Amino acid sequence: MNQPKILVVDDDKEIVGAIKKRLEMEDYEIITAYDGLEAMDILMEQEVQLLIIDVMMPKMDGWEVVKEIRKVSKVPIIMLTAKTQEMDKVTGLMMGADDYVTKPFSPSELVARVDAVYRRVAQFTRAAEPNFSEELRSGRFVLNLRNRSFTKDGNPVELTQVEFQIMEYFISNAGKALKRSEILKHVWGSGYVGEEKIVDVNIRRLRMKIEDEPSNPRHVVTVWGIGYRWDK
């Protein structure tokens, strides 16, 4: 089995070196870059299974890179940031990042986040199995699990891997109120050590993509005091 390939991007070479050394101990193959433009060049030439990228970098910051990548790729992204303000975390997630880790972080925390993301990616290999149920349908929406596509009224909607898994969980549990903790566990895994807020940000992003009126959602409905419910 090929080693999962991860691109690590940060202008601090010591941090890049430390991350590379730690993740190679977990049998990940690591490619490195030291600014956003170099990262974009690598991503255009090579296929990677995960991107770990710092926010504040020269030439092209992490947010710009994520925005550009999301135009052409669904590769999972973990953002690194020294900022602790809630808005900075939300900005990265709204632009398409899958997770964030705030500096300073422990090596074990980063490994746990990387492992959780890679497990999500690996789950999609189930689609290659002959007995795999190919489609989930819910009213105007069709989720194709084999080619990982999502349509609304027959029109394609681009989803990140996190958004895709949230939609799979919603449609599979249509009409049921799902707790934030249940969504977090299903999508990010039971070992996830981040905040439940990441669920809310991804829901907000999903609504912007699939609702006719995101401010007045008909499908991804808030259940106050519990979490969310999917309605056809």
Question: Which domains, ranges and CATH numbers included, belong to the chain?
Answer: 5-124 (3.40.50.2300), 133-230 (1.10.10.10)
pTM assigned to the model: 0.75
Max CA pair span of the chain: 51
Q: Average pLDDT in the 149-168 region?
A: 92
Q: Average pLDDT in the 182-193 region?
A: 83
Closest by Cα among 184, 198, 180, 187 to 123: 187
Do residues 9 and 51 touch, judged by C-beta distance below 8 A? yes
Please check the confidence at residue 129 and state whether its pLDDT lies above 60.
Answer: no
Do residues 105 and 124 touch, judged by C-beta distance below 8 A? no
* Angle of helix 161-172 versus helix 180-188 axis, rounded to 10: 130
pLDDT at 186: 87
Do residues 206 and 166 touch, judged by C-beta distance below 8 A? yes
**H or E stretch including 223?**
strand 220-223
Which of 20-29, 53-62, 169-178 is predicted least confidently? 53-62
